[in-house]
Amino acid sequence: MSALRHIAVIDIGKTNAKVALVDLVTLSEVALRRMANAPLRRAPYPHHDVEALWTFILDSLASLNGEQRIDAISITTHGATGALVDASGELVLPVLDYEFDGPDRLTAEYDAIRPPFTETGTPRLPLGLNLGAQVFWQQKCFPAEFARATAMLMYPQYWALRLTGVAANEITSLGCHTDLWNPWWYDYSSLVDAMGWDRLMVPMRPANDCLGPILPEIARRTGLDPQTPVLCGLHDSNASLLPHLLSDTPPFSIVSTGTWVVSMAVGGKMVDLDPARDTLVNVNALGDPVPSARFMGGREFSLLTEGQPENWTEDDIGAVLGRKTLLLPSTQQGSGPFPHQAATWLNADGISNGQRFAAISFYLALMTATCLELIGADGPTTVEGPFARNRLFVRMLAAATARSVIASEAATGTSIGAALLASDQVTTHGKGERTEPPTDPAWADYVSAWRTAVEARG
């Protein structure tokens, strides 16, 4: 597929959905369409508005193809999401929103049958963040509908099915804290057999497999060439990781930012992962286990800033560092490295908007540094996604890790990685600005003060 150049990437994030046109020669986004992605909060339970997303996807493909011929389509989505479909490919139940608390009502029953962390690398997470818990709840609460299902698809492959009519599954989404996959044996977990879900497991395909051309009705609707190939697709954090797996020398770490901030260590130090602190084992596009940790940093940023302008000055930084204005975890509880701590401000009386923004950025960087430490990260850290544009976050992350941080130039790191599925060339990933740890001791003092305050809370 090396002759393919312009790849349309369907990128469904938890907060926003995007369709990006990526140029594989320059490894850059040359066009982008975006829409807010909000779940429908109505019966039978909160669920994703797949029809609105589908209209957006088709309209975006048609629009982008009008600007530049689309050579192929790739797909990446957030994790913890799957679709139950019948023999005709129709949903038998709505695609559940993983922030719905329904699965928690069956916690005791589910915990009695889920595999241990040592088997799956999956921590026990609240709400529907373990896909297995979602499916367990759906089977118990909607037995008639569940009985009609013939396939359980991961979310990227649900969209691939709608584009091609081909049902497939793929390793990175199956290996993303689902309880459904054993990363050590490259096979389904014992839960799949125990629940009889093996009948729903369609063939596994590599992320870069071409599932087929688009369906004729898609070609007519969008104006795309009827032979436009569609790649199987992958989980979004692993899309951010893929370019670096192809071109970087370990050890290194990747921080993929969006609604979730997901840290992944490649070739790092050997550590024992702590499932109680939201560390886990992801599976990369090559099928290898990757120590990972996460917290809901993008959601926290939105809640804390409330859309206020990101205005700050060097004087604001100096004031926050000198006064040690600290935000302690966690704004979003239930996940992350401090899941049971409630957010608290210290030394924050009378701070300006610029100082508040600086302290929020520092907090997010220190949470990220904690995640990196928990997974044994070593070497340079590359930040992908929106936080790469936050210079305060990048500088504090360098200070807190005492290692260089590279802010990716790509607007959406996930889109570049997903587009690379259409290439058979090992291509050096786009560069970014490298930030070294600050030499001013005030930064290290601030890091020490934050960590001491967090530890004092127990």
In the three-class reduction of DSSP (H, G, I as helix; E, B as strand; rest coil), residue 440 is classed as coil
Tell me the CA distances in angstroms from 329 to 277, 343, 446, one per residue in order. Answer: 13, 5, 15
| Pair (228, 244) in one structural domain | no
User: Does a structural domain hold residue 344?
Assistant: yes
In the three-class reduction of DSSP (H, G, I as helix; E, B as strand; rest coil), residue 10 is classed as strand
Torsion sign across C-alpha atoms 393, 396, 397, 398: positive
Q: Tens digits of per-residue pLDDT, 222-231?
A: 999 999 999 9
306-309 — which CB contacts under 8 Å span 24+ positions?
308/353, 308/357, 309/353
Q: What percent of the chain has pLDDT over 90?
A: 88
| Tokens 């600007």, residue located | 67
Are the C-beta atoms of residues 215 and 165 closer than 8 Å to each other? yes
Can you give the residue range of the structural domain that contains 205? 6-232
Specify the range with the lowest mean pLDDT, choosing from 56-60, 183-187, 397-401. Answer: 183-187
Q: Report, as an integer, the average pLDDT of 118-132.
A: 95
User: Does a structural domain hold residue 1?
Assistant: no
Specify the range with the lowest mean pLDDT, choosing from 100-109, 222-231, 386-395, 407-416. Answer: 407-416
Distance (Å, rounded) from C-alpha 203 to C-alpha 232?
12
Q: Tens digits of per-residue pLDDT, 356-390?
A: 999 999 999 999 999 999 999 999 999 988 999 99
| Pair (22, 112) in one structural domain | yes
Reading the block at residue 8, the tokens are 């349309």
Structural domain count, the chain: 2
| Pair (226, 243) in one structural domain | no
Average pLDDT, the chain: 94
Strands 405-408 and 16-23, how do they pair?
unpaired
- Residue type, position 127, single letter: L
> How open is the CA angle 411-413-417, to the nearest 5 degrees?
135
Q: Report, as an integer, the average pLDDT of 315-342.
A: 95
| Pair (325, 363) in one structural domain | yes
User: Does a structural domain hold residue 189?
Assistant: yes
Distance (Å, rounded) from C-alpha 77 to C-alpha 79?
6
Last residue of a domain, one of 176, 201, 232: 232
Tell me the CA distances in angstroms from 276 to 105, 136, 269, 335, 342, one per residue in order. Answer: 20, 22, 20, 9, 16
Are the C-beta atoms of residues 454 and 338 closer than 8 Å to each other? yes
| Pair (183, 300) in one structural domain | no
SS3 content of the chain, % helix, strand, coil (to 5): 40, 20, 40
Reported as a pLDDT band with limits 50, 70 and 90, residue 393 is: very high
Q: Is residue 159 predicted with pLDDT exceeding 90?
A: yes
Q: Is residue 428 predicted with pLDDT exceeding 80?
A: no
Are the C-beta atoms of residues 328 and 450 closer than 8 Å to each other? yes
| Pair (323, 434) in one structural domain | yes
| Tokens 């929103």, residue located | 97
